Structure 1
Amino acid sequence: MSLPPFQTLVDAHWRDVARLAHALAGPNLGDDVAQQAWTQALAAYPRLTSARNLRGWLLTITHRCAMDAHRAARRTVAHEDPASLTAAPTVDGPVAHDDGLWARVAALPDRQREAVVLKYVADLDHRGIATALDTTPAMSRRLVSDALATLRLDREELR
Structure 2
Amino acid sequence: MRPFEQIVTDYGPMVLRVCRAVLGPQDAEDAWSETFLSALKAYPDLPPEANVEAWLVTIAHRKAIDVTRAAARGPTPVETLPERPSRIGRPEDWDGDLWRALRALPARQRQAVAYHYLAGLPYREIAALHGGSTDAARRAAADGVKTLRTTYPRPDEQREVAR
Displacement after TM superposition at 1:91 (Å): 8.8
Counterparts in 2 of 1:136-155, with a 5 A limit? Answer: 136-154=133-151
Displacement after TM superposition at 1:154 (Å): 4.3
The size of the alignment, in residue pairs, is 145
Whole-angstrom CA distance in 2 between matches of 1:32 and 1:91:
17
Query: Any unmatched runs of 5+ in structure 1?
Result: 85-89
RMSD: 2.8
Partner of 2:8: 10
Partner of 1:87: none
Q: 1:91 to 1:151 in 2, by over 3 A?
A: farther
Query: Which one has a bigger Cα radius of gyration?
Result: 2
State the TM-score, normalizing by the size of structure 1.
0.75
Counterparts in 2 of 1:93-132, with a 5 A limit? Answer: 96=95, 100-132=97-129
Whole-angstrom CA distance in 2 between matches of 1:28 and 1:155:
21
Q: 1:72 to 1:108 in 2, by over 3 A?
A: same
Counterparts in 2 of 1:33-112, with a 5 A limit? Answer: 33-79=31-77, 92=92, 96=95, 100-112=97-109
Percent of pairs identical after alignment? Answer: 35
Displacement after TM superposition at 1:114 (Å): 0.9
Query: Any unmatched runs of 5+ in structure 2?
Result: 85-89, 154-163
State the TM-score, normalizing by the size of structure 2.
0.74
Whole-angstrom CA distance in 1 between matches of 2:76 and 2:145:
31
Q: 1:6 to 1:17 in 2, by over 3 A?
A: same
